[in-house]
């Protein structure tokens, strides 16, 4: 039986290098299939989604991925229009959607929400972002993008810049990178440094440098992973205003980077990458979105097929 069959995807920490590489190989395979072959993978299966926070890419990429492999999707993209407004609990809402679906995708404001939901769901549950804690399928997409665009992950010098305190994609990415031999530079304002409760575990696995100064690292980086300052997670708007616009990647910065360096971003972007960068060969953040659809199709395929695909 395929090891991913009927398994929840709650944390990137459950993926070692071997598992990640298997997903990357299956993603490559799925990208080679013609549309009719692809539609056989999850023919007749249903994905149920439940989003307690806004989303564009994650929800639509799961939706699109499921359609491309022959399945369909249903769910709640805005809990304000659901019976949660009448007081229905997360547990009961998850139970309802699991009755209608073969696999569930949950985004929630709280850390630990996906683990809790997986315990009450009869169907496998995929974490599509839980509080400031994790976004595992984004990390798989990010790692796949690095591998695809740089032809390797081991040996890369990777800068991660922006909101390292509240950005959940950063935590999942760092744990994922912990499976590889990489040199990571964490670049943020002092007040948005990576949370100390997470650094111990991550530092066991990764060679990390923390800095506020992006300039002194630019010429060494193979990958610059830019993140949005997460305004909605600041307890105090004054604190947000102090760090807003701390780093803006524009053509001036790009000129100081290696010719073949790539710029990634989990998106949405606000002002941290200038639009003038979008048309350069280095900008890979829209390609990253496209890869996200294929990595999610591969994950759904292995979760729902006993013998893989």
Catalytic residues: 57-58, 86, 107, 135
CB hemisphere CA count around 63 (13 angstroms): 14
Closest CA relative to residue 154, chosen from 120, 177, 122, 130? 177
236-239 contacts at long range (C-beta below 8 A, 24 or more positions apart): 239/191
130 binds ligand CP (CB under 6 A): no
d(CA 171, CA 136): 9
136 binds ligand CP (CB under 6 A): no
* Residue owning tokens 């315990």: 119
Exactly one of 27, 46, 138, 295 binds ligand CP (CB under 6 A); that residue is 138
Exactly one of 266, 277, 301, 303 binds ligand CP (CB under 6 A); that residue is 266
73 binds ligand CP (CB under 6 A): no
**Which CB sits closer to ligand CP, 146 or 267?**
267
CB of 142 to ligand CP, least distance (A): 9
- Find the binding residues for ligand CP in span 31-60 (CB under 6 A): 55-58
Closest CA relative to residue 28, chosen from 179, 148, 153, 177? 148
Structure-block tokens of residue 264: 């990634």
C-beta of residue 264 within 8 angstroms of C-beta of residue 226: yes
CB of 292 to ligand CP, least distance (A): 8
Quick one: which H or E segment has residue 188?
none
**Which CB sits closer to ligand CP, 190 or 232?**
232
C-beta of residue 177 within 8 angstroms of C-beta of residue 158: yes
303 binds ligand CP (CB under 6 A): no
Exactly one of 267, 293, 300, 304 binds ligand CP (CB under 6 A); that residue is 267
For residue 51, list its beta bridge partners: 107
Site stretch for ligand CP (CB under 6 A), options 35-43, 179-187, 221-229, 265-273: 265-273
Structure-block tokens of residue 9: 């995807």
**Which CB sits closer to ligand CP, 218 or 284?**
284
Q: To the nearest 10°, the Cα dihedral for 256, 260, 266, 269? A: 40
Site stretch for ligand CP (CB under 6 A), options 209-217, 237-245, 260-268, 294-302: 260-268
**Which CB sits closer to ligand CP, 142 or 222?**
142
Residues touching ligand CP: how many (CB under 6 A)?
A: 10
List residues binding ligand CP (CB under 6 A): 55-58, 129, 135, 138, 266-268
């Amino acid at each position: 039986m395929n090891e991913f069959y009927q398994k929840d995807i709650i944390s990137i920490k459950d993926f070692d290098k071997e598992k990640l590489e298997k997903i990357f190989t299956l993603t490559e395979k799925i990208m080679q299939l013609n549309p009719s072959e692809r539609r056989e993978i999850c023919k007749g299966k249903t994905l149920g989604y439940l989003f307690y926070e806004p989303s564009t890419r994650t929800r639509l990429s799961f939706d699109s991925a499921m359609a491309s492999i022959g399945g369909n999707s249903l769910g709640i993209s805005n809990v304000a229009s659901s019976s949660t407004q009448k007081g229905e609990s997360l547990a009961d809402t998850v139970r309802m959607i699991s009755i209608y679906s073969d696999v569930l995708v949950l985004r929630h404001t709280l850390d630990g929400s996906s683990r809790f939901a997986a315990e009450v769901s009869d169907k496998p549950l995929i974490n599509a972002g839980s509080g400031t804690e994790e976004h595992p399928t984004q990390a798989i997409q990010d790692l796949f993008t690095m591998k695809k665009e740089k032809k390797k992950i081991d040996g890369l010098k990777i800068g991660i810049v922006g909101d390292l305190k509240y950005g959940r994609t950063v935590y999942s990415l760092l744990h994922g990178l912990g499976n590889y031999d990489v040199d990571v530079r964490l670049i943020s304002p002092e007040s948005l440094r990576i949370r100390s409760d997470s650094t111990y575990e991550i530092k066991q696995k990764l060679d990390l440098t923390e800095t506020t100064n992006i300039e002194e690292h630019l010429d060494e980086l193979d990958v610059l992973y830019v993140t949005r300052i997460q305004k909605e997670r600041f307890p105090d708007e004054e604190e947000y205003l102090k760090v807003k616009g701390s780093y803006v990647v524009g053509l001036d910065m790009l000129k100081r980077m290696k010719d073949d360096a790539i710029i990634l971003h989990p998106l949405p972007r606000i002002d941290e990458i200038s639009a003038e960068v979008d048309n350069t060969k280095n900008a890979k953040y829209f390609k990253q979105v496209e890869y996200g659809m294929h990595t999610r199709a591969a994950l759904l395929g292995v979760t729902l097929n006993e013998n893989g695909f």
